[in-house]
């Protein structure tokens, strides 16, 4: 089996509030579009991440704040980020999906995985939830690959339109993890300048508002993909945000679903070359429903080309 899909019903029950952009319908649309287009693909139920697994990237106080604080109605963490009573389990299942997907890759059960989960994760820092994100699921997956499987080189490729400040914050001083990001600049959260390079393991390519798919492809083809190839990752992790799409209401880039499909194919080529094909993708942003459907289908189609 070359592609596995992970999700959990709890991810639909996380409710950040009426009219919030990061709504349950996002995940409904992704799962529905993938299921309609690829009915034969195998879905697995995501387990819950354990506290010890979260603690590899998050402080104890942050973990306790998310998991141990009772929520009656809604708890507002910051102007963008809120929890409902079901949010803690959703966050545990989202992080657990990444862990289970990494285990599946390392056992040889599959060559690629896509985790259709929410809340997203790449803005969550070591000690803080922010930007719709509670736990940094992609960082938890990377840390699990290092600790549980002994990998020495893990690459995180992030093409969400917003910079993954949390992922960069967590791994900026860990040369075992390479973080590569294209994103709109200026835009929330205000990080991701090209000068931010960690210990040589971070590469950021900011794109100006209205930059199109050609600019996105050039950022990866000329800078980010060569850096990944030189790093020779043993596992490729992808923060798959589809909000660089031209229809997205929260940003101003002009990419298309076809651009995401192209980029996914390029990431798979490098995973094939250096990581025995091992690639785990996790849903991040994307807030226009039609664009999200089309982009998720293009992404999964590229992941499953060798089925």
Q: Using one digit for the tens of pLDDT, what is the confidence trace for 21-33?
A: 999 999 999 999 9
d(CA 154, CA 176): 6
Residue labelled with tokens 């930059």 = 211
- pLDDT at 86 > cutoff 50: yes
Compute and round to an integer the Cα radius of gyration of the chain: 17
pLDDT value for 166: 98
Q: Give yes or no for a contact between 115 and 7, defined as CB atoms under 8 angstroms apart.
A: yes
The pTM assigned to this predicted structure is: 0.98
If DSSP codes are grouped into helix, strand and coil, which group holds residue 45?
A: strand
* CATH number, residue 222: 3.40.800.20
Side-chain half-sphere CA neighbours of 137 within 13 A: 40
β-bridge partners, 45:
7
Q: Structurally, how many domains does the chain consist of?
A: 1
For residue range 222-267, list pLDDT tens digits in order. 999 999 999 999 999 999 999 999 999 999 999 999 999 999 999 9
Which backbone phi and psi does 179 adopt, to 5 degrees?
A: -120, 120
If DSSP codes are grouped into helix, strand and coil, which group holds residue 156?
A: strand
CB under 8 Å to 189, separation ≥6 — which residues?
123, 130, 131, 162, 163, 165
Give the domain extent around 74: 3-303
H/E stretch holding 196 reads: none
Q: Which residues are catalytic?
A: 123
């Amino acid at each position: 089996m070359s592609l596995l899909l992970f999700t959990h019903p709890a991810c639909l029950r996380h409710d950040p509030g009426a009219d919030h952009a990061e709504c349950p319908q996002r995940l409904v649309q992704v799962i529905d579009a993938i299921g309609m287009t690829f009915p034969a693909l195998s879905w697995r139920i995501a387990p819950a991440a354990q506290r010890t697994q979260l603690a590899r990237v998050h402080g104890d106080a942050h973990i306790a704040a998310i998991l141990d604080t009772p929520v009656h109605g809604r708890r507002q963490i910051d102007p963008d980020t809120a929890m409902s009573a079901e949010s803690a389990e959703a966050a545990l299942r989202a992080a657990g999906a990444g862990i289970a997907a990494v285990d599946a890759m390392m056992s040889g059960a599959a060559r690629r995985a896509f985790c259709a989960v929410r809340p997203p994760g790449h803005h969550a820092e070591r000690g803080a939830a922010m930007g719709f994100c509670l736990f940094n699921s992609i960082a938890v997956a990377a840390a699990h690959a290092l600790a549980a499987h002994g990998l020495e080189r893990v690459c995180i490729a992030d093409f969400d339109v917003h910079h993954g400040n949390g992922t960069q914050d967590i791994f900026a001083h860990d040369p075992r993890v390479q973080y590569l990001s294209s994103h709109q600049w200026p835009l929330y959260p205000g990080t991701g300048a090209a000068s931010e390079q960690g210990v040589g393991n971070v590469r950021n390519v900011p794109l100006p508002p209205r930059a199109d798919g050609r600019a996105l492809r050039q950022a990866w083809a000329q800078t980010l993909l060569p850096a990944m190839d030189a790093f020779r990752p043993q596992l490729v992790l992808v923060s798959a945000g589809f909000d660089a799409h031209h229809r997205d209401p929260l940003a101003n880039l002009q990419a298309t679903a076809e651009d995401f499909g192209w980029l996914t194919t390029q990431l798979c080529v490098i995973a094939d070359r250096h990581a025995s094909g091992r690639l785990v993708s996790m849903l991040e942003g994307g807030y226009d429903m039609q664009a999200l459907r089309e982009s998720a289908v293009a992404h999964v189609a590229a992941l499953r080309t060798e089925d």
